[in-house]
């Protein structure tokens, strides 16, 4: 059990014990800035399960942190959680679990798993759509999915909180974990600036014609679709593109900052892909916590995906994940390049 000490992982561990499973808790740390495992140690003690703390700072720095900061240096908007799940939680951590003699790895993700008629392991949206985390798990391989367990997928968050309180595992008012576990203060720009100071320099905000409208505080602080914090008169203005090479941030109207076509690379399929060049109707998310939009999906000759959205979407950002579904079933996903 990937045990963070929060309510989701604590309740998951108790549910597994109640189902008669032999459970070992594993807490991983990814650097000095991450919270100490005190809460996880306390939960394991209350449950009476073995508990191990492992240092995964080296693979995390290589597989998640470096792509994160390098992505901002390119002008992308990275999605570190979508990298962490296949590479760290169900990569390095799953390897540790197997070394400990555990055949499966459970997490507190709100997602459901199953097997389709063709025998492929599949993910489905969690019952609690407000907490559904399938988007971040698109990169899991068939081997990883075969060893993954998600007991919270059929539950709602309020029910999980209630059980955590009733069982005395976690305080009912314990706050949610932050979006970036490796940055407790949330200041990602400081981290990026330390490694790539060139993208933290002030520069020009320009319109599509190159006319200077104002000054920005560093390219790494802006993302396509952003409206707040631009400090411009007139408008409304939205970020259209971030261009570190010229140290400029391009702004425009909402129409200019929206797109109905998306190119995706690094694709991972959990369902069967359509034949080459044959369009498939899918529902697509181009970022977490957005409503899905219908799209026509085609696969090109190198395995990349082209998405023609039924309506323009604001702020489609290179570096984010695009994930597509058939109803509640996750079909596949990849990385937006343009």
Rounded distance, CA 54 to CA 25, Å?
A: 11
* CA 33, 145, 104, 126 torsion-angle sign: positive
Question: Domain for residue 194, yes or no?
Answer: no
Give the chain's end-to-end CA distance (angstroms, integer). 37
> So what's the pLDDT on residue 108?
96
Q: What is the pLDDT along the chain (338 residues), one digit of tens a residue?
A: 999 989 999 999 999 999 999 999 999 988 765 666 889 999 999 999 999 999 999 999 999 999 999 999 999 999 999 999 999 999 999 999 999 999 999 999 999 999 999 999 999 999 999 999 999 999 999 999 999 999 999 999 999 999 999 999 986 555 566 567 777 677 888 889 899 999 999 999 999 999 999 999 999 999 999 999 999 988 899 999 999 999 999 999 999 999 999 999 999 999 989 998 899 999 999 999 888 999 999 999 899 999 999 999 999 999 999 999 999 999 999 999 99
Residues 19 and 152 in one domain: yes
Is 219 noted as a catalytic residue in this protein?
no
Burial of 195 (0-12, 13-18, 19+ CB in 10 A): middle
Where do we find the tokens 């593109």?
A: 241
Alpha carbon 172 to its chain's center: 25
Rounded distance, CA 77 to CA 316, Å?
A: 10
Residues 214 and 319 in one domain: no
Rounded distance, CA 214 to CA 261, Å?
A: 29
Is the bond preceding 286 in cis, omega lying within 30 degrees of 0? no
> So what's the pLDDT on residue 30?
85
Is 181 noted as a catalytic residue in this protein?
yes
Residues 155 and 229 in one domain: no
HSE, side-chain direction, 13 A CA sphere, residue 25? 29
What percent of the residues of the chain are helix, what percent strand, and what percent coil, each to the nearest 5? Answer: 30, 30, 40
Task: State the total domains in the chain.
Answer: 3
**Tokens encoding 297:** 């999906």
Question: Domain for residue 116, yes or no?
Answer: yes
Residues 20 and 66 in one domain: yes
What is the helix (H) or strand (E) element at residue 254, kind and residue range?
A: none
> Is the separation of the CB atoms in 109 and 137 below 8 Å?
yes
> So what's the pLDDT on residue 144?
97
> Is the separation of the CB atoms in 316 and 254 below 8 Å?
no
Question: Domain for residue 308, yes or no?
Answer: yes
> So what's the pLDDT on residue 170?
80
> So what's the pLDDT on residue 321?
97
CATH of the domain at 152: 3.40.50.620
pTM listed for this prediction: 0.92
Catalytic residue (choose from 81, 102, 181, 219): 181
DSSP string, 117-158: TTS-EEEEE-SSTTT--GGGGTT--HHHHHTEE-GGGGS-HH
CATH of the domain at 275: 2.40.30.10
Q: Which domain holds residue 289?
A: 258-336
Question: Domain for residue 22, yes or no?
Answer: yes
């Amino acid at each position: 059990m990937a045990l963070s000490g929060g309510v989701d992982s604590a309740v998951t561990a108790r549910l597994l014990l109640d189902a008669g499973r032999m459970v070992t808790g594993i807490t991983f740390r990814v650097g000095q800035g991450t919270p100490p495992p005190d809460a996880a140690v306390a939960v394991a003690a209350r449950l009476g399960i073995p508990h191990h703390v492992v240092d995964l700072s080296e693979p995390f720095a290589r597989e998640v942190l470096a792509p994160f900061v390098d992505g901002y240096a390119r002008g992308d908007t990275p999605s570190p959680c979508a990298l962490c799940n296949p590479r760290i939680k169900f990569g390095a951590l799953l390897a540790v679990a197997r070394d400990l003699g555990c055949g499966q790895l459970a997490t507190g993700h709100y997602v459901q798993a199953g097997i389709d008629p063709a025998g492929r392991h599949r993910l489905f949206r969690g019952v609690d759509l407000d907490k559904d985390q399938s988007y971040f798990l698109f990169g899991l391989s068939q081997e990883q999915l075969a060893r993954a367990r998600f007991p919270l997928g059929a539950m709602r968050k309020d029910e999980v909180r209630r059980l955590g309180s009733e069982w005395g595992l976690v305080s009912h008012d314990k706050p949610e974990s932050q979006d970036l576990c490796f940055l407790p203060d949330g200041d990602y720009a400081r981290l990026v600036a330390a490694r790539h100071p060139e993208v933290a320099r002030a520069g020009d905000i320009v319109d599509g014609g190159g006319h200077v409208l104002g000054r920005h505080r560093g390219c790494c602080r802006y993302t396509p679709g952003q409206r707040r914090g631009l400090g411009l008169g007139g408008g409304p203005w939205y970020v259209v593109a971030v261009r570190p090479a010229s140290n400029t941030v391009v702004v425009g109207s909402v129409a200019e900052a929206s797109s109905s076509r998306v190119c995706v690379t690094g694709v991972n399929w959990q369902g069967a892909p359509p034949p080459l060049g044959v369009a498939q109707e899918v529902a697509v998310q181009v970022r977490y916590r957005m409503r899905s939009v219908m799209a026509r999906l085609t696969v090109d000759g190198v395995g990349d995906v082209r998405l023609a959205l039924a309506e323009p979407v604001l702020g489609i950002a290179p570096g984010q994940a695009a994930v597509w579904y058939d109803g509640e079933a996750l079909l596949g996903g990849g990385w937006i390049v343009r």
